[in-house]
Chain A
Amino acid sequence: MPTAATGDKVIIHNRVPKVTADFWLIKLMAVTMGETAADYLNVQIGLGLTTTSVLVSAILAGALVWQFAQKKYVPAFYWLSVVLISIVGTLITDNLVDNFNVPLLDTTIFFSVALAGTFVLWFLAERTLSIHSIFTNRREAFYWLAILFTFALGTATGDLVAEKFALGYLATGVLFGMIIVSLSVGYFFLGLDAILSFWLVYILTRPLGASFGDLLSQPAQYGGLGFGTIVTSCVFLGAIAIIVIYMTLTHEGDEKVIVAAGEADADDLPTAAGLEASPAED
Chain B
Amino acid sequence: MIKQVLLAIALVLVPVAAFTGFQGYAKNDSAAAASLGDLSSFKAIIADVQAIAAKGDLTGAAKRITDYESAWDEGEAAIRPLNPTYWGNIDQASDAALKAIRASSPSADKVQKTLGALMAVLNNPAQSAD
Give me the interface of A with B, judged by CB distance under 8 Å: 163, 166-168, 171, 174-175, 178-179, 181-183, 185-186, 190-193, 196-197, 200, 218-223
Contacts and interface: CB of A to CB of B under 8 A. Distances in A.
Contacts of A183: 8, 11-12
A190 to B, nearest CB: 7
Contact of A192 (B8, B18, B75): B8
Contacts of A175: 15-16, 19
A83 B19 CA distance: 30
25 contacts: A166-B35, A166-B82, A167-B23, A168-B82, A174-B19, A175-B15, A175-B16, A178-B19, A179-B11, A179-B16, A182-B12, A182-B15, A186-B7, A186-B8, A190-B7, A190-B11, A192-B4, A196-B8, A197-B8, A200-B8, A218-B78, A220-B38, A221-B41, A221-B75, A221-B78
- Please report whether the interface of chain A is mostly helix, strand, loop or mixed according to DSSP: helix
Given A182-B14, A223-B37, A196 B19 contact: no
A178 B19 CA distance: 9
Contacts of A174: 19
B81 interface: yes
B37 A222 contact: yes
Interface residues of B, number: 22
Nearest to A186: B11
Nearest to B38: A221
B37 A181 contact: no
B120 interface: no
Contacts of A185: 11
B98 interface: no
Contacts of A197: 8
Contacts of B12: 179, 182-183, 200
B45 interface: no
B52 interface: no
A153 to B, nearest CB: 14
A219 B74 CA distance: 13
B128 interface: no
Contacts of A166: 35, 81-83
B37 A178 contact: no
Interface in B78-95: 78-79, 81-83
A171 B35 CA distance: 12
A162 to B, nearest CB: 9
Of the listed residues B4, B5, B18, B35, the one surrounded by the most CB atoms of chain A closer than 10 A to its CB is: B4
B8 A222 contact: no
A219 B78 CA distance: 10
A152 B68 CA distance: 38
A73 B92 CA distance: 58
Given A221-B75, A222-B82, A223-B37, 8 more contacts: A171-B23, A178-B18, A178-B19, A183-B11, A185-B11, A221-B38, A222-B37, A223-B82
Of the listed residues B11, B23, B81, B83, the one surrounded by the most CB atoms of chain A closer than 10 A to its CB is: B11
Given A222-B37, A222-B79, A182 B4 contact: no
Interface string B1-42: 000110110011011101100010000000000010110010
A220 B37 CA distance: 9
B20 to A, nearest CB: 9
Contacts of B11: 179, 182-183, 185-186, 190, 192
A222 B74 CA distance: 13
A186 B23 CA distance: 24
Contact of A222 (B4, B18, B41, B78): B78
B2 to A, nearest CB: 12
A206 B104 CA distance: 54
